[in-house]
Amino acid sequence: MAFRKIGVVGAGTMGNGIAQAFAQAGFEVVMSDVAQAALDRAVNTISGSYDRLIKKEKMTAEQKAAALARIQTATDLAALKDSDLIIEAATENLDLKLKIFRQLDELARADAVIASNTSSISITKLAASTKRPDKVIGMHFFNPVPLMALVELIRGLQTSDATYAAVEEVSKAVGKSPVQVRNSPGFVVNRMLCPMINEAIFALGEGLATAAQIDEAMKLGANHPIGPLALCDMIGLDVQLAVMNVLFDGFKDPKYRSAPLLVEMVEAGYLGRKTGRGFFTYA
């Protein structure tokens, strides 16, 4: 299995980053989204991102033009029918992803691999909705995709060794460092990162220290580049809550219960940077 043509489903935050990384590494990319506006925004974002690389002398204008020329866009999933590897990065919703997987299974070549960038949905469940469960895998990229080195490769119960090996190879070809993870709620990074953030919110709710003091303590004491509460503001408090709920529901273990303050802040609409207010305020 050598992948040359990459299909990307969803042109949002993650989809456009994935398309950018693959096009830059020399792959042909077809990026699809139901919304033409999302595709237009994605191409603009990618172009701006390449411009920043040109400024830093990490890319030439010719390389930018060639990379952009390798990206096609489409509002119809059928445009992905010749892809060798399809990476689904559509909205995080089980029914939507099951529908997309069934459509992709119908239209993609029999030997094509279908991956999902899902943060929380079972790869085993997505694989079972297709007639090629051995060729389904999780490729969990991190935001922003062009800058973050890690990709967690999630093996569903049915994922074959050949599929894993091919996806590991292509991940390295786009400059990522893959880590193999078994299908399980939160995989590895969110399983540890989100409870750590949750604990910071418990500490804040209990009045142990102020938000600024908690973040300062973790930056200086644990050498974290950003404090847990500022990080939560970046991720979005609603997203943090959703991940905690996935861990709690998946493991049925009270150690994953959400901090009450997190639940209340989400109820208030204080979702972090995107609403201008979370644990800190943003202009």
45 binds ligand NAD (CB under 6 A): no
Instruction: State the catalytic residues.
Output: 119, 140, 152, 190
Residues from 108 through 127 that contact ligand NAD (CB under 6 A):
117-119
State which residue, 229 or 246, has the beta carbon closest to ligand NAD: 246
- Sheet with 177-182, strands from edge to edge, namely 71-74, 28-32, 5-9, 85-88, 113-116, 136-141, 150-155, 177-182
Residue of 7, 10, 178, 278 that binds ligand NAD (CB under 6 A)? 10
Beta carbon of residue 11, minimum distance to ligand NAD (angstroms, whole number): 5
Give the tokens for residue 12: 């949002």
Residue of 100, 204, 231, 259 that binds ligand NAD (CB under 6 A)? 100
Question: Amino acid letter at 206?
Answer: E
11 binds ligand NAD (CB under 6 A): yes
State which residue, 32 or 159, has the beta carbon closest to ligand NAD: 32
What is the C-alpha to C-alpha distance for residues 217 and 74, in angstroms, rounded to an integer?
47
Question: Amino acid letter at 273?
Answer: R
Residue of 6, 8, 9, 154 that binds ligand NAD (CB under 6 A)? 9
32 binds ligand NAD (CB under 6 A): yes
Residue of 1, 12, 261, 277 that binds ligand NAD (CB under 6 A)? 12
Strand, coil or helix: 136: strand
Q: CB of 92 within 8 A of CB of 10? A: no
90 binds ligand NAD (CB under 6 A): yes
How many residues make contact with ligand NAD (CB under 6 A)?
24
Residue of 7, 15, 185, 228 that binds ligand NAD (CB under 6 A)? 15
Q: CB of 32 within 8 A of CB of 80? A: yes
What is the C-alpha to C-alpha distance for residues 163 and 111, in angstroms, rounded to an integer?
10
Residue of 36, 91, 177, 281 that binds ligand NAD (CB under 6 A)? 91
13 binds ligand NAD (CB under 6 A): yes
SS3 of 73-111: EECCHHHHCCCCEEEECCCCCHHHHHHHHHHHHHHCCCC
Length of the chain: 283
Binding mask 124-143 for ligand NAD (x = CB under 6 A): ----------------xx-x
Beta-strand relationship, 5-9 and 150-155: unpaired
Name the site residues for ligand NAD (rule: CB under 6 A): 9-15, 32-35, 38, 89-92, 96, 100, 117-119, 140-141, 143
